[in-house]
Amino acid sequence: MARPVQRPKLSLLERSYLPAIFGGLLVTIRHFKDMIFGKTQVTMEYPEQNWNDDLPDWYRGAPTLVKDEHGRERCVACQLCEFICPPRAITIKPGEISKDSKWAKVEKFPEQFEIDMARCIYCGLCQEVCPEQAIFLRKDYSITGETRESLVHDKKKLYELGGVMTGLVHKWDEKK
Amino acid sequence: MLSFDIFLQPEIFLLWTSFLKTAVLVGVVLTMVAYSVWAERKVSAFIQDRVGPNRVGWAGLLQPLVDGVKLVLKENFVPSGVNKFFFSLAPALAFVPALLVLAVLPFGSSLFGVPMVIANLNTGILWVFAVSSLGVYGIVLAGWSSNSKYPFLGSIRSSSQMISYEIALGLSVIPIFLITGTLNLGEIVQYQTLHGWMVFPMGMSGFNLQRLLLWIPMLISFLVFLIAMFAETNRLPFDLPEAEQELVGGYHTEYSSMRFAMFFLGEYAAMIAGAGVIVTLFLGGWSLPFVPDGSQGWLWGVVNIATFFAKVAAIIFFFLWIRWTLPRFRFDQLMKLGWYVFFEVALVNIFLTAAILLYFRS
């Protein structure tokens, strides 16, 4: 059942809107004044200030490839990340490790490893699926470029961003 | 040896001083236009707890410059199906009247004996009303020639708005003419230097009961005129013709590049001219209590000019302040306000002023 709502009874002055307008003007000028005197906390002024030093450990930035402390590239080109990548940002071209290499038993290495940062959604599935602890999402978030091509990170760029990661499992080392 | 006496012959002197004054005033006003755009963005940002433009120059002070460059470099696009002649004419029609109003505003007392007004017309305020109403044609033509629904709605609103505020605008200043007995803006300012500002009648000469009583109709006049001026300059709460949220920019939706910039400049120039008229009629023009006019030395002349522009700037700040405080009126509400409230108030105000002038002679 519809219930009639009692409208508030306004005095003549209130009906002229003038007190409300005056009140509104006071509100806006207070904000103006607080801003002028620097009392208002505004948003971070990004390029000059940033969160870089306060990013949490689990922050998901750009995916990168890492080497371990022996300088071995950890990726074995199993292509699991390529298959799981939802936006299909990863392209891997596997190659064979030469027989006389110290790591010959690993058999494969990525001859080409490209991540298209224009497609990457920073979901971290590649890191999760990697059986070799080779791909990690690091803290770089400001990935920009002037062309689409420049946004495709090749192997060199990926290792540059990833660097060396220590404390990983060394499953290809000789058994002790 | 050239003789410069020819420049001091009365006619020639009038000619070149007028040219000089026009050039300088237009230059100053266009600079003010650019910086009122900057002020608008800065004030709106501050009121909304934002930072506002701060990249180009200190506190974004060079922003108007780069905005101008951007607008000039953009493509001047003409949509198909527009009436090209009126489409090109409309921006000029919106811009020029605003500048023409400036011709009669006394923006200073005098400098080196030259009166600081470009055209000292005896019908000053009538000129202001006649010319500033023409600005509406720019808006109406823009909306009509654009061949697009939103601009068309904007221009319809603009014409409905004009018929609701113009009467109140005209009637609200009649009490001033009753008091001062002149239409000449310069003489109205002279009156205010002698008897105190219209809304602040604490003059140097005798303060009497009549002046005190006249304060009431003057305040009413000021309020009605100020509100009508908001409608005249298409400022919020009466910016119905451009209503960004409902009409995607209203009458200038189809415009780009310099044609759009002309509307933009026109709007702000109209704002400055409107603020100038308010200052001249109600706030004492270039006068400041206990400050002599330009006949006492050129320095005072400069002070008078600075006073005028400072008052204009204050009024513009008030315009901006109001814009970020009040929501927009519906256009039936505006017509109701204009016809049912301000028309009557302004009319009664005239009789009130006349009665006070008649029965409380000083």
Whether A83 has a pLDDT exceeding 90, the answer reads yes
Residues on chain A touching B46 (C-beta within 8 angstroms): 31-32, 35-36
Spatial separation of the C-alpha atoms in residues A145 and A155, rounded to whole Å: 17
Pairing of strands B110-111, A108-116: unpaired
Residues on chain B touching A31 (C-beta within 8 angstroms): 46-49
Pairing of strands A108-116, A152-153: antiparallel
Residues on chain A touching B48 (C-beta within 8 angstroms): 31
Whether A104 has a pLDDT exceeding 80, the answer reads yes
Per-residue pLDDT of chain B (362 residues; tens, 9 = 90+): 556 777 777 777 778 888 888 888 888 888 888 888 888 888 888 888 888 888 887 888 888 888 888 888 888 888 888 888 888 888 888 888 888 888 888 887 777 777 777 778 788 788 888 888 888 888 888 888 888 888 888 888 888 888 888 888 888 888 888 888 888 888 888 888 777 777 776 655 656 777 777 788 888 888 888 888 888 888 878 877 777 777 777 778 888 888 888 888 888 888 888 898 888 888 877 877 777 776 777 778 788 888 888 989 999 999 988 888 888 888 788 888 888 888 888 899 999 888 888 887 76
Of the candidates B273, B4, B245, B236, which has an alpha carbon nearest to the alpha carbon of residue B132?
B273
- The CA distance from A144 to the nearest CA of chain B, in Å, is 20
Nearest residue on chain B to A29, judged by CA atoms? B47
Q: Are A103 and A172 in contact (CB under 8 A)?
A: yes
Q: Does A24 touch chain B (CB under 8 A)?
A: yes
ipTM: 0.74
Nearest to B321 among A29, A34, A43 (CB): A29
Residues on chain A touching B49 (C-beta within 8 angstroms): 31, 34-35, 40, 42
Complete edge-to-edge strand list for the sheet that includes strand A152-153: A90-96, A108-116, A152-153
Of the candidates A51, A57, A75, which has an alpha carbon nearest to the alpha carbon of residue A133?
A75
Residues on chain A touching B326 (C-beta within 8 angstroms): 21, 24
Q: Are A152 and A115 in contact (CB under 8 A)?
A: yes
SS3 letters for B132-145? HHHHHHHHHHHHHH
| Structure tokens, A131 | 């059986």
For residue range A30-79, what is the model confidence (pLDDT) as tens digits? 888 888 888 877 778 888 888 888 888 889 999 999 988 888 888 899 99
Q: Which residue has the higher pLDDT, A116 or B334?
A: A116
Of the pLDDT bands very low, low, confident and very high (cuts 50, 70, 90), residue A100 is: confident
Spatial separation of the C-alpha atoms in residues A109 and A86, rounded to whole Å: 23
List, as ranges, residues 25-84 from A with C-beta within 8 Å of B: 25, 27-29, 31-32, 34-36, 40, 42-43, 45
Q: Does B48 touch chain A (CB under 8 A)?
A: yes
| Structure tokens, A77 | 């080109």
DSSP letter (8 states) at residue A91: E
Q: Taking the CA of residue B285 as centre, how many other CA atoms within 13 Å lie in the half-sphere pointing to its CB? A: 26
Spatial separation of the C-alpha atoms in residues A114 and A8, rounded to whole Å: 68
Q: Does A20 touch chain B (CB under 8 A)?
A: no
- The CA distance from A80 to the nearest CA of chain B, in Å, is 45
Percent of chain A with pLDDT over 90: 27
Counting one residue from chain A and one from chain B, the pairs whose CB atoms sit within 8 A come to 36
Nearest residue on chain B to A47, judged by CA atoms? B55
Task: Dump strand ranges (E) for chain A.
Answer: 63-65, 90-96, 108-116, 135-137, 152-153
Of the pLDDT bands very low, low, confident and very high (cuts 50, 70, 90), residue A174 is: confident
The pair phi, psi for residue B17, each rounded to 5°, is -65, -35
Q: Does A2 touch chain B (CB under 8 A)?
A: no
Best to test chain B binding among A12, A16, A35, A37 (most B CBs inside 10 Å) = A35
pLDDT value of residue B203: 57
Residues on chain A touching B321 (C-beta within 8 angstroms): 25, 28-29, 32
What is each CA distance from B46 to A1, B33, B51, in whole angstroms?
47, 20, 6
- The CA distance from A5 to the nearest CA of chain B, in Å, is 23
**B44 burial level (CB within 10 Å; 0-12, 13-18, 19+):** middle
List, as ranges, residues 321-360 from B with C-beta within 8 Å of A: 321-322, 324-326
Whether A103 has a pLDDT exceeding 60, the answer reads yes
The dihedral of CA B297, B299, B305, B307: what is its sign? Answer: negative
- The CA distance from B273 to the nearest CA of chain A, in Å, is 24
Average pLDDT over residues A101-124: 89
CATH number for region A56-162: 3.30.70.3270
- The CA distance from A33 to the nearest CA of chain B, in Å, is 8
Task: Give residue limits of the domains in chain A.
Answer: 56-162
pLDDT value of residue A85: 93
Of the pLDDT bands very low, low, confident and very high (cuts 50, 70, 90), residue A87 is: very high
**Which long-range contacts does B347-355 make (Cβ < 8 Å, 24+ apart)?**
B347/B171, B349/B171, B349/B172, B349/B175, B349/B217, B349/B220, B349/B221, B349/B224, B350/B171, B350/B174, B350/B175, B350/B178, B352/B175, B352/B216, B352/B217, B352/B220, B353/B174, B353/B175, B353/B178, B353/B179, B353/B214, B353/B217, B354/B178
The pair phi, psi for residue B187, each rounded to 5°, is -70, -30
Total residues found in chain B within this entry: 362
pLDDT value of residue B336: 85
Pairing of strands A90-96, A108-116: antiparallel
Q: Which residues lie across from B110 on neighbouring strands?
A: B115
- The CA distance from A14 to the nearest CA of chain B, in Å, is 15
For residue range B172-228, what is the model confidence (pLDDT) as tens digits? 888 888 888 888 888 888 888 777 777 776 655 656 777 777 788 888 888 888 888
Residues on chain B touching A40 (C-beta within 8 angstroms): 49
